[in-house]
Structure 1
Amino acid sequence: MRGSRRGGGSPRGRPSPRGPARPPREGAPAPIRETAPAVLPAAFPEGIRVAVFGRAHGVRGEVRLKAFTQDPLAIADYAPLRLEDGRTIVIEALRLAPGAAPDLLIARVAGVTDRNAAEALARKALFAPRERVASAQGEDPDSFLVADLIGLAVEDEAGMPVGRIVAVPDFGAGDLIEIAPTAGGPTIYLPFREAFVPVVDIAGGRVVVRGAEEMMRPARPDEEPPELDEPPETTP
């Protein structure tokens, strides 16, 4: 999953990780849109989760697949794909599941020819090589893999610890970072935009945010909740 952060208040991209994702480049896999940290299997430690199998579809071996790519039908472009146990999966055909969300597909997998074999794939994640996923990211320095954002330390602009990123969800209005506060309590959400997240330092293991303190401060009874279009002004 990837996203990209843009200035001027625009979203930072999508796992995959900051702001609205751009259209995939010709000849490159689509960016990843995963919204939860991948569980990296020991058999495939450099893998990035790109999809997960669902229930069997029909009796001829087809199976539902939930994609985490910007273009769900581009899953096969990330080949070789593997399961958590290291087995290689070859997707022979994909189509959108009828009447479902655009990230839900019907897949035909090589060697899976009946319902029992399809059911054996249920809830198994598909992983793609990191280098294949990174090729979708291109050279954009403002584009990130969600898997690289999960777990980063969160600091304010004074260098004080705020918490840690635990997820990068998108509920329909663009990427957010979900932060587990250092002091405990409920997680908080900030838009993954440059106005709110001015620094993303993957190598240093941290991001710098604006407005988190205001989001965590208990609201006064007569106070309106802060808007998320711009960072809230801090109060003394």
Structure 2
Amino acid sequence: MSALVCVARIGAAHGVRGAVKLWTFTEDPFAVRRYGPLLAKDGKRQFELATAREAKDHLVATFKGVTTRDEAERLNGIELYVPREKLPATDADEYYHTDLIGLAAVTADGDALGRVLAIHNFGAGDIIEIAPLRGATMLLPFSNAVVPEVDIAGGRVVIALPQEVEGEDDSSASRPREGGDP
């Protein structure tokens, strides 16, 4: 089986007839209806959407065979996946996270940094996580400035490491402020 891509996550039960909140990770929230059965992460359980309607920032959905609130509550937190080949092709400079994971991370000079471990989004934009050859894991903004080149065919991403963040250094902490008491 090809790589699985997470397209949605089941949330809390909604009402008493087996509906759930469904958080989709697709550009069009209703695209999850076009992929056929959705799979649990292990690929063993399948979920077939029966209905879906738009709510404030999610869908309210029902799945075939789920008819009670108790059954719906047991689904809370399950991530739903589809095989990569069922997803639409990407445009230039567009990537599925799964396409990036495992790529070599190199500097602009071609020096090896490590491998792409994950892509995260905590609400302020995408972050690329690099498992380095040595040292601590790096979390960097996934921006054109930090990741100027993605070469999926070549199996690598180019990373332009940002300069140190400006801030107080140890010597400034002991100096008196200008015009004030020490």
Q: TM-score with structure 1 length normalisation?
A: 0.61
Deviations 1:49-106 (A, max 9, x none): 11111222221101122211112232112223222343332212222344xxx2x322
CA 1:81–1:183 in 2, change beyond 3 Å: closer, same or farther?
Answer: same
RMSD: 2.6
CA 1:66–1:191 in 2, change beyond 3 Å: closer, same or farther?
Answer: same
- What 5-or-longer segments of structure 2 have no aligned partner? 170-182
CA 1:180–1:46 in 2, change beyond 3 Å: closer, same or farther?
Answer: closer
Deviations 1:112-156 (A, max 9, x none): 1001211222222211121121x242xx34221111112322110
Deviations 1:135-189 (A, max 9, x none): 242xx34221111112322110112122332332345554342334443236331
- SS of residue in 1 equivalent to 2:95: strand
- 1:221 is matched by which residue type in structure 2? E
Is the 1:48–1:130 contact (alpha carbons within 8 Å) kept by the matching residues of 2? yes
Is the 1:154–1:209 contact (alpha carbons within 8 Å) kept by the matching residues of 2? yes
CA 1:115–1:178 in 2, change beyond 3 Å: closer, same or farther?
Answer: same
Bigger strand fraction: 2
CA distance in 2, matches of 1:164, 1:147: 13
CA 1:47–1:185 in 2, change beyond 3 Å: closer, same or farther?
Answer: closer
The match for 2:65 is 111
Question: What pairs with 1:141-156 in structure 2 (closer than 5 Å)?
Answer: 141-156=92-107
The match for 1:178 is 129
CA distance in 2, matches of 1:55, 1:126: 14
The match for 1:9 is none
Q: Specify which structure has the bigger relative contact order, considering alpha-carbon pairs within 8 angstroms and separated by 6 or more residues.
A: 1
The match for 1:92 is 50
The match for 2:146 is 196
CA 1:172–1:55 in 2, change beyond 3 Å: closer, same or farther?
Answer: closer
CA distance in 1, matches of 2:121, 2:155: 22
Q: TM-score with structure 2 length normalisation?
A: 0.76
Pair 1:221 & 2:168 matched: yes
* Identity within the alignment, %: 43
- SS of residue in 1 equivalent to 2:76: coil
Pair 1:50 & 2:7 matched: yes
- Worse overlay, 78-87 or 68-77: 78-87
The match for 2:173 is none
Q: Report the alpha carbon displacement of residue 221 of structure 1 after superposing the two structures with TM.
A: 2.5
Question: What pairs with 1:63-142 in structure 2 (closer than 5 Å)?
Answer: 63-83=20-40, 84-98=42-56, 102=57, 104-133=58-87, 135-137=88-90, 140-142=91-93
Report the number of matched residues. 168
